[in-house]
Structure formats: structure tokens, C-alpha cells
């Protein structure tokens, strides 16, 4: 055995440009995961605001918080969070229709065919129960109930104040050794030989050098776009909304465990109940609705006194052509944007951070790591993009120019295949570990008015009495569990009640 001591590798210098949710999620994860093998420096300016409207999340955030060792009750109290079991979609199929996209599973699948095939067979034989009745999370949400169940039987996420989440993570990251520098980035200094980013130069002349730079500067994309010019793929021909306005209001009722997405004639409006306030916003297409009219519509459809000045946003839905270029990685809005219809903004931040940690090079950056990161990130974004387009494309609404445009638009081949397969056969297949599983696609397609023409023949094997027992047993099991659950607001108060803001 050799007694030669291997050379010590100096800690990698990671510089995070920008704070907010993306910056502090990255700093917290990197410091906690990498320890002394890396130094993490975050540069942000108190004078620059953050978007701060990503308040509705999806279940993978639970995994992210657990990886960081975060106590759930403490985190929820610190962020005024409530539990979330899904999203209620009002007015998407038609102006007066409503459906629910819940987390978790519906019914019980057979190895050869999903539950929807047995439900469809039951409908053909006269069973009139809704597909919704077989989903625990959906029925609990409608009853306004929630509890942690054994074996994680209840799938859930959070409705939270993303600004407070950033502060919570900042305290944790700084406790783990991250350094914060207050200052505005004046310019990005490139290495004249390699073309990599060498340093960030601040307004006061301070130079922050590093080996790896994370661009968390939001829509401005100061590093990945303004300095490195990677380019941007515009997806507004599929997702035409290009503006939003957000406000916060007082709570006027106990918080429910779900988010609402209410369609209107030029887009949609969100309502997200936290412990002490409600997050509201309107997303719209400026071609069909002016900013003033959008604000009037939003303020005319909120509950409770308005607490904040309107936060007006303009955006172009799409993705950077490279999320990782040279020694710069875009995290969050700097890497692209998709409207918050299915609460994926924080999730895409999380995916990029964890993917970076898995691909973090021990020495020089590998072109293969970069290519793999970019391929996986783009796949994630394209799959989410398709799921969002589904909500606009598969609709019976023709009551405005906006909805007529959506119904008539061409769609990506990948989405056309999923829609055609479900329409003709009732089948849905999850590919490449995509975020939204089969049940999500089924709930939205059924909710938007798409009913399969046929279903798997294996469901026809069951005799009438056996099919009835199967369906009734599943439904009754859901009903019994929901009856035993406490009210969501009372559970939140006991488990993670926050002090009044």
C-alpha cells in the first residue's frame, strides 16, 4: 500500500448571483450537501425586488426539504404555510364547469391496465359514480380536511409565502457557512482566454471571483443571457399568456387545502390560501386584455381587503437554449418560464439544484456533464410545457377570441400523441420519469371534457357483481378515511400555527 498522501483538492468556489427563492434554495442545498468541499457566496441587493409569487407547490418539495433535514412544522410556521392536496380548475372546460386535479392516485390499477379502464367499464354497465370519488386526496380537499396518514397515504404539498421561504433558507444556509454579499452586480467579467465567467463586479468595485456561477437573477438572466448569450426558445405560440398581476389579501375564511385556478375570457386567475393571508393573481394575454382591465378584473374578484400594491409582471414563456453553458448554470426564472398554472416554478428550481449536485464535477467541468444537464432540464421543461398546453387546447370554450385561438392552435407532436392515445384507447403512459404521472393526465383530460372512445378489454372480464364490489369497495374506503380526518384549518393550527404577521 502506498504511503503517498494524495494532493488536497482546494474547495470549489461557487458564486450564486441573486437571492430570492432560487438563490437561497441553491445556497442552502449546496452548503448542506457539500460542506467544506465548497465555498458558497451569494450576491444580492436589497434594492432589487424578487418576483415572490411562487406560493403554490407540488409534492416533490417535501423530498427537497427532507434532504436538507428541515423540520416540517418549523418550516410551515416560518412560511405561514398550509397544506395543499391539489388544484380546483373553474371555467376551463366551459365557463360554468369545474374539476379537480388532485395529488396521489385514483382507485387501484391492474398490472395490465390502469384504474380508469375499470371505471369506464363500470360506467358502460350503469355505474354513475364520478372518477373523483375514488381519489382520497380529491375528496379530502373538497371536504376541507387534512391529516398526515400512516405510510404517507396522503400525498400533499404546501401553499406558502415564497419570500419567507427564502428567508428561512437564508438563515439555514448562513448557519452552514454560506456567505452573503450585499451589492448590485455592475458587470460580469469574462476570462479573455476561455470565455468563462471569471468574476462578478459590483457597483462599489468589489470583485467576487469563483469557479462555478449560478444565475439566479430571474427574468433579467444577467449571466446566462446578458453575458453569455445562450439564446431563448419562445413558446408563446403554444402558451399565449404573457402578463400577470399579483396582490395579497386578508383571509376572510379558514384556509382550504387546495389552490384555485379560475379561467376567464383571456387567461385565468389564481387564489392561494395561506395561514394569515391569501395570494391572488391574474394571468392573461395582453393581446386580448389591457393591463388596466386585468387589474380591475383581479380586484373585482378577490375576497378580503387588499394588503399589497399590485405586482405587475411581463414574461415570455419558453426556455434558454442552454441551461448550463461554460461555468454558468441558470436556476429558476433565469433558465426559462412557464406560467404557474400547475405550480411548477419552485419545482424546476429544485430539479436544477439537485441535478447540479449530482453532476458536480470534482475537477475541470466536463462537456458531457453539461450536455447531460441540459438534455435533462429541457426534457423536464418540455414535458411540463405539454401538460400546460393541454389545459388550453382540450376545451369546449369558444366564447372569446382567446379561447378560439387556443382551441385552433397546432400543438407539439408529443402532446398530440398523448391526447390521441387517451381519446382512442383510454391509455396514458409516463415517459422518462416525467413529473406528471398517469393520474394527473387522466384527471385533467377527463376534467377538460375528453372522454375515451374505448378502454382495455381486460376490464370486461369481471362479472357484474365482482366489478361492483371492486368499485364500491374502493369508493367506500375513501369515504371512510375522509370521514375520520380533521378539518384542515384546525390541523394546521395545532401542527404548525404561525404567529400573526
- Spell out the domains of the chain, with CATH numbers in brackets: 12-55+161-234+320-365 (3.50.50.60), 105-155+386-489 (no CATH)
DSSP conformational letter for 104: S
Helix (H, G, I), strand (E, B) or coil at 333: helix
Tell me how far apart the alpha carbons of residues 85 and 156 are, in angstroms, rounded to a whole number. 5
Tell me how far apart the alpha carbons of residues 463 and 309 are, in angstroms, rounded to a whole number. 61
Alpha helices in 156-241 (DSSP H): 162-175
378: its cell numbers: 429541457
So what's the pLDDT on residue 320? 98
501: its cell numbers: 404577521
Burial of 390 (0-12, 13-18, 19+ CB in 10 A): buried
> Do 447 and 89 form a contact (C-beta atoms < 8 A)?
yes
Tell me how far apart the alpha carbons of residues 377 and 429 are, in angstroms, rounded to a whole number. 20
269: its cell numbers: 386567475
CA 413 to each of CA 1, 82, 281, 390: distance values in angstroms, whole numbers, following the listed order: 58, 38, 31, 12
pTM, rounded to two decimals = 0.95
Q: Which residues contact 86 (CB under 8 A, 6 or more apart)?
A: 100, 101, 102, 103, 137, 138, 141, 258, 259
229: its cell numbers: 448569450
Angle at 435 between CA 432 and CA 441, to 5 degrees: 100
Q: Given strand 318-320, what is the order of strands in its sheet?
A: 232-234, 318-320, 336-337
Helix (H, G, I), strand (E, B) or coil at 381: helix
So what's the pLDDT on residue 501? 60
> Do 91 and 430 form a contact (C-beta atoms < 8 A)?
no
DSSP conformational letter for 232: E
pLDDT in tens, 134-162: 999 999 999 999 999 998 899 999 999 99
So what's the pLDDT on residue 361? 80
Alpha helices in 203-302 (DSSP H): 291-299
DSSP conformational letter for 233: E
Nearest to 219 by CA among 336, 325, 310: 336
So what's the pLDDT on residue 4? 45
So what's the pLDDT on residue 13? 95
Q: What are phi and psi of 63, to 5 degrees?
A: -65, -45
Nearest to 78 by CA among 159, 158, 168: 168
Tell me how far apart the alpha carbons of residues 487 and 501 are, in angstroms, rounded to a whole number. 23
What is the DSSP pairing of strand 12-17 with strand 38-44? parallel
Annotate 94-114 with b (16+ C-beta within 10 A) or e (fewer): beebebbbbbbbbbeeeeebb
Helix (H, G, I), strand (E, B) or coil at 199: strand
Q: Which residues contact 329 (CB under 8 A, 6 or more apart)?
A: 212, 213, 214, 215, 224, 323, 352, 356, 373
231: its cell numbers: 439564446
So what's the pLDDT on residue 157? 98
Nearest to 389 by CA among 325, 434, 448, 476: 448
Nearest to 57 by CA among 25, 84, 89: 84
Q: What are phi and psi of 243, to 5 degrees?
A: -155, 155
Number of H helices, E strands in the chain: 14, 21
Segments in the chain below pLDDT 70: 1-11, 49-54, 501
So what's the pLDDT on residue 326? 96
> Do 82 and 57 form a contact (C-beta atoms < 8 A)?
no
So what's the pLDDT on residue 47? 77
Burial of 495 (0-12, 13-18, 19+ CB in 10 A): middle
With residue 478 as reference, give the H or E element that holds it.
helix 464-483
Helix (H, G, I), strand (E, B) or coil at 216: coil
Amino acid at each position: 500500500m502506498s504511503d503517498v498522501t494524495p494532493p488536497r483538492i482546494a474547495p470549489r468556489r461557487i458564486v450564486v448571483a441573486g437571492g430570492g427563492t432560487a438563490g437561497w434554495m441553491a445556497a442552502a442545498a449546496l452548503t448542506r450537501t457539500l460542506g467544506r468541499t465548497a465555498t458558497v457566496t451569494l450576491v444580492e441587493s436589497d434594492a432589487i425586488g424578487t418576483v415572490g409569487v411562487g406560493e403554490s407547490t407540488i409534492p416533490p418539495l417535501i423530498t427537497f426539504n427532507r434532504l436538507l433535514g428541515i423540520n416540517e412544522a418549523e418550516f410551515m410556521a416560518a412560511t405561514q404555510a398550509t397544506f395543499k392536496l391539489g388544484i380546483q380548475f373553474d371555467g376551463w372546460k366551459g365557463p360554468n364547469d369545474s374539476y379537480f386535479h388532485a395529488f396521489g392516485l385514483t382507485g387501484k390499477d391492474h398490472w395490465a391496465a390502469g384504474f380508469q379502464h375499470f371505471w369506464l367499464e363500470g360506467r358502460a354497465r350503469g355505474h354513475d359514480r364520478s372518477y373523483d370519488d375514488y381519489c382520497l386526496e380529491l375528496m379530502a380537499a373538497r371536504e376541507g380536511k387534512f391529516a398526515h396518514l400512516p405510510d404517507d397515504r396522503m400525498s400533499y404539498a404546501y401553499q406558502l409565502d415564497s419570500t419567507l421561504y427564502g428567508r428561512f433558507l437564508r438563515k439555514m444556509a448562513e448557519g452552514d457557512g454560506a456567505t452573503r454579499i450585499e451589492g448590485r452586480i455592475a458587470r460580469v467579467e469574462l476570462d479573455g482566454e476561455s470565455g468563462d465567467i471569471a468574476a462578478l463586479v459590483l457597483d462599489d468595485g468589489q470583485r467576487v471571483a469563483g469557479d462555478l456561477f449560478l444565475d439566479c437573477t430571474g427574468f433579467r438572466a444577467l449571466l446566462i443571457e446578458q453575458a453569455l448569450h445562450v439564446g431563448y426558445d419562445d413558446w408563446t405560440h403554444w402558451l399565449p399568456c404573457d402578463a400577470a398581476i399579483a396582490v395579497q389579501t386578508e383571509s376572510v375564511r379558514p384556509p382550504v387545502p387546495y389552490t384555485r385556478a379560475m379561467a376567464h375570457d383571456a387567461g385565468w386567475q389564481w387564489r392561494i390560501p395561506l395561514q394569515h393571508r391569501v395570494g391572488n393573481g391574474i394571468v392573461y394575454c395582453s393581446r386580448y386584455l389591457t393591463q388596466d382591465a386585468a387589474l380591475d378584473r383581479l380586484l373585482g374578484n378577490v375576497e378580503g381587503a387588499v394588503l399589497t400594491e399590485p405586482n405587475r409582471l411581463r414574461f415570455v414563456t419558453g426556455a434558454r437554449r442552454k441551461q448550463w453553458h461554460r461555468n454558468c448554470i441558470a436556476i429558476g426564472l433565469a433558465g426559462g418560464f412557464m406560467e404557474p398554472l400547475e405550480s411548477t416554478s419552485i419545482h424546476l428550481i429544485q430539479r436544477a439544484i439537485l441535478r447540479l449536485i449530482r453532476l458536480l464535477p470534482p475537477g475541470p467541468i466536463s462537456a458531457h456533464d453539461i450536455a447531460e444537464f441540459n438534455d435533462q432540464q429541457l426534457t423536464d421543461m418540455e414535458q411540463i410545457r405539454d401538460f400546460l398546453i393541454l389545459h388550453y387546447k382540450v376545451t369546449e370554450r369558444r366564447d372569446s377570441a382567446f379561447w378560439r385561438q387556443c382551441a385552433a392552435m397546432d400543438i407539439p407532436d408529443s402532446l398530440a400523441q398523448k391526447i390521441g392515445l387517451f381519446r382512442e384507447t383510454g391509455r396514458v403512459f409516463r415517459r422518462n420519469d416525467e413529473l406528471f404521472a398517469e393520474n394527473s393526465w387522466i384527471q385533467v383530460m377527463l376534467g377538460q371534457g375528453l372522454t375515451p372512445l374505448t378502454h382495455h378489454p381486460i376490464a370486461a372480464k369481471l362479472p357484474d357483481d365482482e366489478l361492483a364490489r371492486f368499485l364500491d369497495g374502493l369508493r367506500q374506503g375513501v369515504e371512510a378515511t375522509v370521514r375520520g380526518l380533521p378539518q384542515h384549518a384546525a390541523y394546521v393550527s395545532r401542527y404548525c400555527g404561525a404567529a400573526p404577521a
